[in-house]
Every structure is written in structure tokens, then in C-alpha cells.
Structure 1
Amino acid sequence: MSDRKIDLVIFTCEGKEHLLPKTFSSLQEKCGYLFSNVILAIDGKVDSSVIDIVKPTIIVQNHKRSGYVKSIINALSLVKSPYFFWLEDDWCFNLNFDLNELAQKLDLDSSLCQVVLGKEELKSDGLTASDKDLYYSKFGFSANPCLCRTAPLFKAFTDLLKLDKNEATKLLGFESYLTDFMVQNRLNNLIKINDAQSYVQHDGYLESTAREFHMINSLDDSTSSIGKEYISGYGQHINISIKNKILMIPKVLVASSYLILKIFSSREVYDYAMRLNIGFKKRFKN
């Protein structure tokens, strides 16, 4: 049952849109809310069949990839409801949730700017409880699936557009910027956590896009110096330290050993290994 106006804002981008149908279907199954508007923000060229599946009310698209930050600003300018549900294209919903209940929390506390659905690694240990399954976050702003209050986020991104983009801000992501904005404006957020099973699961790690697309400097190409092809956020003009490279070696060995062991018992791990192998051949064996 939909008691109030809430918009759904979905973000997808070139090369990741194939993940969206599963995400959208999962949301419908576990939420089933009748949204006032469905706004689909697209960064780059995507398969049009995805649009047909989502059937958005409004589409806003950067025909050439311009970055996540620009997509967010484009989409927020079209949100007319006091609240909107923020959804990226690569999530799976594991548990049912009542969007009206989350909205009621925002109704009762004007200092709350979002209620986030907890992902797999989050537990309630050490967090202050607000209500059943709801805890005050200590992690700052989150772009995980969440219900957001429109007004403060619109203001935050309006201010962001005016912020000078230079070498000092080249590694400042919009999540960090919004976390600082929350502190400065005394805003809080809640996380909905079920310790037995996460509310959401992130399925898009392998398709992660370059971190530069998340940086506020992506709004100004003249100051951006991070190569968009690098998902680490360290572009071709930024040297990665020997220490960081050495520390990465045991992490790769542990991950590889885990994949080898689990490949016999998990189809998901097998498919993941297959995608890694294909990616390796395409990128490094030509």
C-alpha cells in the first residue's frame, strides 16, 4: 500500500545495464511499492531493452559517459516528491521491507536524511539502536539502496556544483563530500540491519567502474587528471606506491586460493572465475 508520494531513482551506466533487470525484479518482489515516478538516469549508451523492462516515467541520459555525479545531479533535478528511493543497477534484495515504515522514520525526525538498507557485511554490533532493525549509522552517507529526503540532498548537490574543482579535490568522491555535508548540517542517517540475513546484497563488484566517475572533479574535465579506465581511483598520472603494490600481493593470493577451493562447490564462484579469466585474456594477453 502506498500512503505517500515517493519517487524511485535508478542509476545505470554503459557496460553495467545488463545487471539492472535482476535488480529491478528483486526490488519489485521485496518491496512492491507503487512509486509516484520512476526516474531512470543513464550514463552513456546502453541496451534499449533494459529501458523497456523498467518502463520508467522519466529518462535522463548522458549519451557520452560523463560520470555518476552528473547523473545524480540530472536525476535529482527531476525528483518532485519529498522522498525518493536511491537504487543503483547492481543490487539484490534478500528481505521484504516496508517503504512506508522507513518514510515514517523520516517524517518523525527532520535531522534524518536517509534510511539505508544494510548489506551483507554490516552487523548491528556497536551501533546505537533507534527502532526495530534500525540503527544510527556511523559510516556517513551511503549510496547503497536507501530512502532519501529530497531537500537536503538537492541542496548538497547544488552546493557541489559551485565548489571549486582543482588538484586538491581530485580524489574527493561525492560520498565523502555528502558525509561532510551531513556533519556540517547536523544530519543523520539510519541503517536497517538484520543480523541473520542482509536486506541487500551487492552483485556488481566485478563490473565496478573507474573511481574517477565518482569523484566531484568529473564535473569539470579541465581539472580531472585521473584516468577513467582505472577502478582503483589512481590514474596514469598518479604513481601507486611500492608499499601498496606489495600489500596487494597477499590479498590476490588469498582471493585466488579461495576461488580455487570454492570452484568445485559453487556455481556462482565458477561463473565469477570464468568472468575473471575472460577479462584477463581481453586486457592483458593481447
Structure 2
Amino acid sequence: MKLLRHGPKGQEKPALLHSDGTVRDLSPLLADIGPAQLSPAGLAALASVDPATLAVVPQGRLAVPWAGLGKFIAIGLNYADHAAEAGMAAPAEPVVFTKAASCAVGCEHPVVLPQGSVKSDWEVELGVVIGSRARCVSEADALRHVAGYCTINDLSEREYQLERGGSWDKGKGCDTFGPIGPWLVTADEVGDPQNLAMWLDVNGVRKQTGNTRTMIFTVAQIVSYLSRFMTLEPGDVITTGTPPGVGMGRKPAPEFLRAGDVITLGIEKLGDQRQTVFAWDPALIDA
């Protein structure tokens, strides 16, 4: 299934994308798509519904595909060629940081540059959405705790991340720096998460081309690893690293986002995103 939430801010309605390309209304069946609907039982109940029996509705503004996003956990340097372009060694264990949950927005939401930003960057990444509690789970069992997958743009302010001391978090959790969607695609529909093509363009120019098969740590390894250090709960999301081609690593000189830029990106089976970049404007953050 491809699950989505759409409509005006604060009035989002649950829906699914039917195989015929139409958006089908789930609101008569449930108030929203949240952690309970991401559980194995919740997804099974949704899968039992015949989409042809649901009303066709026009797609509204796309929101984060599920409500109740808890932790927004990120893995850094998870593609060896990206680590090389960043001038860093490939890690022996996953590099873990967090993005503020408040940075999460829909896949077409404006990207608003932080005040004074001069080094904001793009990163297409595979998102992993947790559907059932995972605590100290084995690698063999890890994928059983995954509800589905999504496309994420892990936007990053590199000066804040790397030049201001402390952890990476301050450059990763800026408002609007976590576009998610357009859909949450359930794990059964995705199949193998380690063979998904991914790409990102800025102003129509290809910047990133990659495939999840070149990840250093697989989704199963990441979920198992994280579950040793924290309990993963339904609605948590993990963004799993980016292939090469980010602005920081461009040659002969780095390239960073400016107001007016248009970012388009996508992952095979998971859908595409499009964002326009704006200078600091608090009103746009809450659009």
C-alpha cells in the first residue's frame, strides 16, 4: 500500500494511492494514519480494504504521510563514496545523530533557509518507518519491525553541522529540513530495501545518482544496531544516509542552496519530491 495524508494544515485526511493512480479516501474508516495504523494489525486491517470501494478524492496539499512521528533518527556516512567525498573515513559502526521532529514537512513544502545560512545542502535518503516496538532485536528479526519506507531529503546546514562545535544535530534539525513522502509505502510492496535506485536534481541538473545496495550498513543492520541503544517505537523514522553528489563535496568547488533553487528527488517505488528554496521567512515555515 501507498499511504498518504493530504489537505490543509491541521485538517489533513488519510488516504491511499490506488494502483490506478487515483487517491482514495480513508477518512470514513479512520481518523488519521498514526502509530496504531502502522502496527502489523493496523496494516493488516487496511490491507483488507478493497480500494475500489473507497471514494476517489482530489489530492490536496501533501503532509508527512503519517501523524505522530516520534524520533527522527539519522545515519551519517553510510555510503563509502559519500564518506570519501566528505573527506572522512568509512565508519566501523553506524554514525548516529538526530533530526528534530519539528523539521519534518511534506514532500512539496517550501524549504526555508535558516537565518544567515550560506552552506545549506541536499541529501536524498531512504527513510525507514517503524511499525512495532524494537528493543535489542537481532538483525534477522529487524525488518519485522518495519512498517514501510519513504523518500526523505535530509537537508543539512554544513556550517552549523561541522564548523560550530559539538554534535551534527544543530545543522540537521532546522525547520523544513526534513521533507518526507509523498507516501509511506508498506514493506510488503517495497520488497528488498537494498536494491532501490535514487536520484536528486537541483534546478534540473543531476547532482546525485545512487542505489541503496551500496549502503555500508543495511536497513536490517541499522534497525538492530539502533535498538541496542534506544527503544524504537511505532511512528519513529530512520533516515539511512546519502550517496555521493552532495553540495559540500562538489568539484572543483562546493555548491550550496540559494533562494529560488528547485530541488527534485526520488527513490524507486517510493515516489518523488519537489521543493522550492526560500530565504528566511517564518510565515513560510508554517505554511
> For the superposition of Structure 1 and Structure 2, which TM-score range results when normalised by the shorter chain?
under 0.3
TM-score, normalized by length of structure 1?
0.25
Structure of higher CA gyration radius: 1
Q: Which has the higher strand share?
A: 2
Higher RCO (C-alpha under 8 Å, 6+ residues apart): 2
TM-score, normalized by length of structure 2?
0.25
